[in-house]
Chains A and B, each alone.
Chain A
Amino acid sequence: MFIINKLKQISVAWYFLIVILLVYFFLFIFKQDLFFQSTAFFNSVIFKIIPIFVLVFVLMSITNYFVTPKFVSKHLNEKGVKKWIYIIIGGVLSTGPIYMWYPLLADLKNKGLSYGLIACFLYNRGIKITLLPIAIFYFGWKYVLVLSLAMIFVSIIQGILLNKLIK
């Protein structure tokens, strides 16, 4: 029973890693050429991204320190266009799992926040400031900049659309 409970506490991500490691283990035994080709590719990728993770860690710490749900809800009480700007900034800067924000958004909904603004907030969560170094590493700064701006623009469209669809 104790072991079953312990196993239930392990996240799916760890099971995924264990399965992949087992595949590599069997490859090492039965298909060494494939194993060495794959590990060579793995090394080339992992050593490039490790330094970027250090930067991501620093950015995440800074964001966690300054942007809290309390900070966001405080600034969402603005009016007019300013409200949309704060919603976008709030969405971009918000951290943590998305479901963590649902109760706060539901509470703000009860306090008068429109569905469009909630959708706009959630859409802008897709732009991850803390992960920008990795995105730039893979796709270049120009692409990341254009994509981020396009997403901000479209988040407003989605907000307006949902305000019209849900009345």
Chain B
Amino acid sequence: MKQAITKAGKGLWKAFPMILGTVLFISLASVLIPKSFYTTIFSKNIFFDSVIGSSIGSISAGNPITSYIFGGEFLTQGVSLLAVTAFLVAWVTVGLIQLPAESAILGKRFAFLRNITAFILAIFVALITTLILRVF
């Protein structure tokens, strides 16, 4: 158990500078960047918003906590739930940063197809999630 606690502690400590840096960065961005900036990136078009959300999530990397902080902030800035969901899902399922390691160990074809389908499916997950939430 001691080992498990130490591992958890190390995991959080490793994520600490990125989380603290992200919260500080977002705090600054929320003051500097006007709300209209987000609405210009996200067009309110269902298809394009989810593609943009998935694209940003795909090229981002790091602890998922960081994506929650960003996602939460995007929502308060008026970005649609669809785009934010695609962003959150792509963040954790598409791994462009790990692509070389994944290709080397699990095969190029697998790594490429897995990441491409994960990118497309992030949009699909976002659509399902927002549709279900609208019904219930």
Tell me the A residues contacting B by CB distance below 8 Å. Answer: 11, 13-14, 16-17, 19-21, 23-24, 27, 34, 37-39, 41-42, 45-46, 49, 53, 56-57, 60-62, 64-65, 95-96, 98-99, 102-103, 105-106, 109, 115, 118-119, 122-123, 125-126, 128, 131, 134-135, 138-139, 142-143, 146-147, 150-151, 153-154, 157-158, 161-162, 165-166
Q: Max chain A CB contacts within 10 Å: which of B25, B28, B88, B89?
A: B28
Interface size class of B (residues with CB under 8 A): 35 or more
Q: Once the chains are docked, how many angstroms separate the CA of A122 from the CA of B115?
A: 10
Chain B proximity of A78: nearest CB distance (Å): 21
Q: Max chain B CB contacts within 10 Å: which of A21, A24, A41, A95?
A: A41
Tell me the B residues contacting A by CB distance below 8 Å. Answer: 1, 3-5, 7-9, 11-12, 14-15, 17-18, 20-21, 23-28, 30-32, 62, 64-65, 68-69, 71-72, 75, 81, 85, 88-89, 92-93, 95, 98, 101-102, 105-106, 109-110, 113-114, 117-118, 121, 124-125, 128-129, 132-133, 136
CB of A57 within 8 A of CB of B114, answer no
Q: List 11 A-B contacts (CB under 8 A).
A: A17-B17, A37-B31, A96-B11, A119-B114, A122-B114, A128-B64, A138-B72, A142-B133, A153-B128, A154-B121, A162-B110
CB of B9 within 8 A of CB of A57, answer yes
Please give me the residue from chain B that is nearest to A68 by CB atom. Answer: B4
CB of A57 within 8 A of CB of B31, answer no
CB of B12 within 8 A of CB of A16, answer no
Partner of A65, one of B1, B17, B28: B1
